């Protein structure tokens, strides 16, 4: 099977299905892979926990057939083109970590939200992710390894980098819940040619969630900004792409990827529930021509970002117009 589930615990890594040590099972998976096939590690965000059946990402996001039917859940392994057998599509590894907490218990014991504590603890699981990456690259030094992370999984992914002599090649962040100052710190200290290429997908439909992240996560600096809402990670190997920007969507469709419009004004999950979104990430992971960082930087308008909260104005303006002016064409009447 081309999926291998790994669970990070407070005691260390274990195989998700059997509880066995990771190294020997991983070695067998890598031995079955054809030469040139890639390894992609998936990292979920907040509100998933591998020890709770209803929140287990191995049964939900990472499964070929999710155990629950829900509009917020899609199969990442299927979406990224993996199959149930070891073949040229490569090996998909689901990296699950405990990312849930009790609101009442957290406020009673720490005076802070559970998100605060999980954000802080995420770097511990970043070290375990680094351990997994190091195992892969030791067992199979020529293998290409990439990461795909959603929301708070971005902190896990980025915090693994300082612990590695060799970075994964490509990191795709979907609505990354991390501050720009932390991202710069995690990326620092390595030559450019030994640093991962980071594709950070943002969305104005995620602005409310970015704002909530900024409220509940502890800032490392007073000026720190969430990477999805204007934070600047000034690094040559970092690229921001606003996936719900009209010009970006038009360009993606022109590349033969049918990316449908977003119907929800505010959504944290449209990065992978939106029809066609996985086609973008597959193009990057498959190294298709024209999808390298430098190629994308040369596309006019692709790296520009719409103003923050522009989706909020779009969402509420028609309602206000209908109520106060009876307008339905989306334009405000002139006021003398």
Determine the pLDDT at residue 315: 58
On whether residue 191 sits in a domain, the answer given is yes
Q: What is the pLDDT of residues 74-114, one digit of tens each?
A: 999 999 999 887 677 899 999 999 999 999 999 999 999 99
Q: How many domains does the chain have?
A: 1
Q: What number is the average pLDDT over the span 281-310?
A: 94
Give the pLDDT confidence score for residue 314 in this predicted structure.
Answer: 61
The parent domain of residue 22 ranges over: 3-305
Mean pLDDT over residues 134-144, rounded? 96
The answer to whether residues 49 and 100 touch, using CB atoms and an 8 Å cutoff, is: yes
Residues 107-124: what's their mean pLDDT? Answer: 95
Is residue 334 in a domain? no
Domain harbouring 61, CATH code: 3.40.50.1820
What would the DSSP string read from start to end of 174-240? ES---BHHHHHHHHTTS-GGGS-EEEEEE-GGGHHHHHHHHHHSPPSSTT--BTTTT-----TTEEE
131, part of any domain? yes
User: For residue 329, is it within any domain?
Assistant: no
The beta strand positions in the chain, using DSSP E, are 3-9, 12-15, 39-43, 91-96, 145-150, 170-174, 197-202, 238-242
pLDDT at 305: 92
Residue 273 falls inside a structural domain: yes
Q: What is the largest CA-CA distance in the chain?
A: 76
Answer whether residue 217 is part of any domain.
yes
pLDDT reading at 304 higher than 80: yes
- pLDDT for 231: 76
Is residue 263 over pLDDT 90? no
Q: Which residue has the higher pLDDT, 48 or 222?
A: 48
Q: Quote the CA–CA distance of 13 and 42 in Å, as a whole number.
A: 15
Asked if residue 185 has pLDDT above 60, the reply is: yes
333 falls within a domain: no
For residue 198, pLDDT beyond 80: yes
- Does residue 183 sit within a domain? yes
Instruction: State which of 77-91, 295-309, 320-334 shows the largest mean pLDDT.
Output: 295-309
Mean pLDDT of the chain: 90
């Amino acid at each position: 099977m081309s999926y291998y589930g790994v669970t990070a615990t407070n005691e260390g890594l274990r195989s998700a299905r059997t509880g066995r040590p990771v190294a020997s099972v991983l070695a067998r998976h890598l031995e079955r892979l054809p030469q040139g096939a890639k390894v992609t590690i998936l990292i979920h965000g907040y509100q998933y926990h591998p020890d709770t059946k209803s929140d287990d990402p191995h049964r939900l996001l990472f499964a070929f057939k999710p155990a629950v039917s829900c509009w917020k859940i899609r199969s990442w392994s299927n979406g990224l083109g993996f199959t149930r057998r070891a073949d040229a599509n490569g090996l998909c590894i689901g990296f699950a970590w405990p990312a849930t907490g009790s609101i009442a218990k957290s406020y009673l014991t720490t005076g802070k939200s559970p998100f605060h504590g999980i954000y802080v603890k995420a770097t511990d699981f970043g070290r375990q992710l680094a351990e997994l990456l190091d195992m892969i690259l030791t067992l199979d030094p020529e293998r290409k390894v990439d990461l795909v992370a959603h929301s708070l999984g971005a902190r896990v992914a980025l915090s693994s980098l300082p612990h590695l002599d060799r970075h994964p090649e490509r990191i795709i962040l979907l609505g990354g819940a991390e501050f720009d100052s932390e991202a710069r710190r995690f990326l620092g200290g390595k030559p450019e040619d030994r640093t991962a290429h980071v594709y950070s997908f943002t969305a104005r439909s995620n602005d409310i969630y970015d704002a909530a992240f900024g409220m509940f996560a502890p800032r490392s600096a007073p000026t720190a900004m969430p990477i999805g809402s204007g934070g600047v990670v000034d690094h040559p190997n970092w690229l921001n792409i606003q996936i719900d920007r009209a010009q970006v969507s038009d360009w993606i469709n022109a590349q033969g990827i049918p990316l449908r419009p977003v119907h929800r004004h505010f959504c944290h999950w449209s990065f992978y529930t939106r029809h066609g979104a996985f086609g973008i990430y597959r193009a990057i992971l498959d190294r298709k021509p024209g999808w390298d960082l430098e190629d994308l930087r040369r596309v006019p308008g692709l790296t520009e970002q719409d103003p923050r909260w522009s989706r909020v104005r779009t969402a509420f303006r028609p309602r206000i117009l209908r109520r106060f002016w009876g307008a339905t064409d989306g334009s405000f009447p002139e006021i003398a």
